[in-house]
Structure 1
Amino acid sequence: MNLSRPARIALRIAAGLGFAVIYVPLTLVLVNSFNIDRSSGWPPAGLTLNWWEQAWHSNGARAALWTSVKAALGATGISLVLGTLLAFAVQRYRFFGRESISFLVVLPIALPGIVTGVALNTAFRAVLEPFGVGLGMFTVVVGHATFCVVVVFNNVIARLRRTALSFEEAAADLGADTFQIFRDITFPLVRSALVAGALLSFALSFDEIVVTTFTAGPGVQTLPIWVFSNMTRPAQAPVVNVVAAVLVLLSVLPIYLAQRLSSDTAGTSRI
């Protein structure tokens, strides 16, 4: 499609404004993490690494970081297993209710986080508390897995749709059993999709706050919750800026790697 010069200029301006709305605030967070002014005055009167040192020695921030890592790893592990199995079932087999299952798997990612959080909180209290299991790390992991499964499912099923079944059929004709076919043919073809799904799941779980608020017990504090609870404390403002900057930097890497892996289509074209 050929666009006129004014149209191209207008699109570039609109794109620039869109990117500015998204990334200028993130840049300000990064700059303020070095701002010598405790109140984050603008423009910065000077730059310092003092706030980064304080953040490093903050026991609360470090404990919250480790809690977020554990929750994200647990949610990612559950999502990999369930999302992969669901993707193979929906893509490779025909059965009654197949489309309904696919819809129900994808639905949680579209629901507002507060709705999911309230529903999970109610369910956990009704089902788990009678057995002596209260809100805690387990409920946080399960809560995060409800929407992380969608990410793995979408990545794997998209890869399976682009994967030639003739490779597996040829291996079967040559005498390979089901395990050998999966190990030597299927898994290498979907491996990058699994890694991409795992990275995106980890990033989503690591940054989640709404569902965590409703599923975490009193003793569980993830890094996003720590940031939110310390935002109104003037003495903690510089450290919060540092932690927010770290969250931004930690989120960039898995998203970038997942994007690169998702674009890898080598060996997946249909023949």
Structure 2
Amino acid sequence: MTLSPAARTVLRIVMILGLAVVYVPLLVVLVNSVNADKTFGWPPTDLTGRWWAHALDNPGARQAVWTSVKAGVGATAAAMVLGTMAAFAVARYRFFGRETVSLVVVLPIALPGIVTGIALSNAFQVVLEPLGIGLGLFTVIVGHATFCVVTIYNNVLARLRRTGTSLEEASADLGADTFQMFWYVTLPNLRSALLAGGLLSFALSFDEIIVTTFTAGPGSQTLPIWIFDNLFRPNQAPVVNVLAAALIVLSIIPIYIAQRLSSGARGVA
């Protein structure tokens, strides 16, 4: 399709405006994290790194970061196991309800977070509380795994469908057993897909706030929850901006690496 010069100009302007709406507020947060003015006057009269030092010395912030890391690692590990198993079942076998399995696995990430959070909270109260298990880090990990599993499932399923079964059949013909076939043939082909899906899962878990609000308990406050609780406290405003800036960076890095891995794998294929 050929566009006129005027149409191309309009599209460029719309694209620039759309990107500005998304990224200018993020840039303001990054600048305010080094703004010397505690009230964040704009434009900044001076730049400083002391707010970053204050954030490092804040025990509540450090604990929240560590909790987010543990929740992200736990949710990613659970999602890798469940998502990979589901992808293998759908890609390698034919059975009644196969498409329903795909729908059930993908549905949690399409549902509004508040719906997932309420459903999980009610389920935990009914199932876990009678067993003496209250809301805490475990329930946060379970809640995050429900939507993190989608990224693993989609990446592994796409890779399995793209690679086919010819290499596995050839290794079986050469005498490889099931474990050898998986370790030496299947897993190397899935490695970049698993890594990309794992990085995306960790990024999703690390900055999740809606589901966490309904599944977190005492002592399991993640970084997004800590930021939200301290957002309107004047004394904590500089630290909140620093942690928000750190959260932006920590979200961009794994997503960028995952995108590079996925694009690289597509080029090899």
Partner of 1:61 in structure 2?
Answer: 61
Partner of 1:91 in structure 2?
Answer: 91
Partner of 1:178 in structure 2?
Answer: 178
Partner of 2:121 in structure 1?
Answer: 121
For 1:244, what is the secondary structure of its paired residue? helix
Give the stretch that moved more between structures: 172-181 or 68-77.
Answer: 172-181
Find the aligned partners of 2:142 and 2:108 in 1 and give their Cα distance: 13
Residue 21 of structure 1 pairs with residue 28 of structure 2: no
What are the superposed Cα offsets for residues 122-152 of structure 1, whole Å, 9 maximum, x if unpaired? 0000000001000001100000000000110
Residue 72 of structure 1 pairs with residue 55 of structure 2: no
Aligned CA-pair RMSD: 1.2
Task: Give the TM-score, by structure 2 length.
Answer: 0.97
What amino acid is aligned across from residue 96 of structure 1 in structure 2?
A: F
Partner of 2:112 in structure 1?
Answer: 112
Q: Does the CA-based 8 Å contact 1:156-1:194 persist in structure 2?
A: yes
What amino acid is aligned across from residue 18 of structure 1 in structure 2?
A: G
Q: Does the CA-based 8 Å contact 1:163-1:267 persist in structure 2?
A: no
Partner of 2:10 in structure 1?
Answer: 10
Partner of 1:205 in structure 2?
Answer: 205
- Please state how far the C-alpha of 1:59 moved relative to its aligned partner: 0.6
Gaps of 5+ in 2: none
- Please state how far the C-alpha of 1:166 moved relative to its aligned partner: 1.2
Gaps of 5+ in 1: none
What amino acid is aligned across from residue 31 of structure 1 in structure 2?
A: V
Distance 1:268 1:160, change over 3 A: farther
- Please state how far the C-alpha of 1:267 moved relative to its aligned partner: 8.7
Partner of 2:43 in structure 1?
Answer: 43
Q: Does the CA-based 8 Å contact 1:159-1:268 persist in structure 2?
A: no
- Please state how far the C-alpha of 1:218 moved relative to its aligned partner: 2.2
What are the superposed Cα offsets for residues 80-124 of structure 1, whole Å, 9 maximum, x if unpaired? 000000000001100011111110000000000000000000000
Provide runs of 4+ in structure 1 moved above 6 Å. none
Q: Does the CA-based 8 Å contact 1:163-1:268 persist in structure 2?
A: no
- Please state how far the C-alpha of 1:36 moved relative to its aligned partner: 1.1
Aligned length: 269
For 1:265, what is the secondary structure of its paired residue? helix
Partner of 1:153 in structure 2?
Answer: 153
What amino acid is aligned across from residue 237 of structure 2 in structure 1?
A: A
Q: Does the CA-based 8 Å contact 1:189-1:268 persist in structure 2?
A: no
Partner of 2:163 in structure 1?
Answer: 163
- Please state how far the C-alpha of 1:219 moved relative to its aligned partner: 2.2
Find the aligned partners of 1:265 and 1:123 in 2 and give their Cα distance: 39
Task: Give the TM-score, by structure 1 length.
Answer: 0.97
Q: Does the CA-based 8 Å contact 1:121-1:214 persist in structure 2?
A: yes
Partner of 2:258 in structure 1?
Answer: 258
- Please state how far the C-alpha of 1:266 moved relative to its aligned partner: 6.0
Partner of 1:225 in structure 2?
Answer: 225
What amino acid is aligned across from residue 150 of structure 2 in structure 1?
A: V
Partner of 1:133 in structure 2?
Answer: 133
Distance 1:142 1:236, change over 3 A: same
Partner of 2:248 in structure 1?
Answer: 248
What are the superposed Cα offsets for residues 170-229 of structure 1, whole Å, 9 maximum, x if unpaired? 111122111111111111111100000100000000000110010011222100000000
Find the aligned partners of 1:195 and 1:188 in 2 and give their Cα distance: 11
